[in-house]
Amino acid sequence: MAKKKTKIRSRRSYAIPDTTGKQLVIVESPAKVRTINKYLGSDYVVAASVGHVRDLPDKNPKGVKDPVPGVDLDNDFKPTYQIIKGKTTTIMELKQAAKKASGIWLATDLDREGEAIAWHLAEALGVKAKNANRVVFNAITKSEIEKAFHNPRTIDMDKVNAQQARRILDRIVGYQVS
């Protein structure tokens, strides 16, 4: 009996609507998109990054023999990030939407991972962290979302640095052990 061929689908199950003249809001989870968009109204378009979009590379580029891929041990452990496999289309779609939008809001989770995702998105979209509209909310309710959008802040680089330190240490320890 022949095996059925299955189509590989993108993790994004929808196209980002036209953002011309609208505010683009980027969240982590596609499950939150519809509800948040309903609360914000028609002047906003909500899209999902589906989690992290950049990370340290799994291996060094051809010809590079660093002991820990993506971490420059001789330069204060400086990380080098790359777009995660399978996220190139997501980044391209978000960039196109951001170019047409009248504003960009990063509404990723409020933990250090969410803060790092917001920073990576800002970097990928060409938005300086100090100029980013960062909003966080504890619950997906109309009142919490409205409160967050009335009180935007910049990306918390202390949280981003904490996440980076953790990621770099995990990488170094992982490569030393294996």
109: in domain: yes
* pLDDT tens profile 11-62: 545 689 999 999 999 999 999 999 999 999 999 999 999 999 999 999 988 8
Q: What is the CATH number of the domain that holds 135?
A: 3.40.50.140
Owning domain of residue 118: 23-56+82-156
Positions of the chain with pLDDT under 70 = 1-14, 175-178
CA torsion through residues 117, 118, 120, 124, sign: positive
Q: How many domains does the chain have?
A: 1
Q: 0.95 exceeded by the pTM? A: no
Q: What is the pLDDT of residue 177?
A: 60
CA dihedral 163→103→149→87, nearest 10 degrees, is -40
Q: What is the pLDDT of residue 175?
A: 66
170: in domain: no
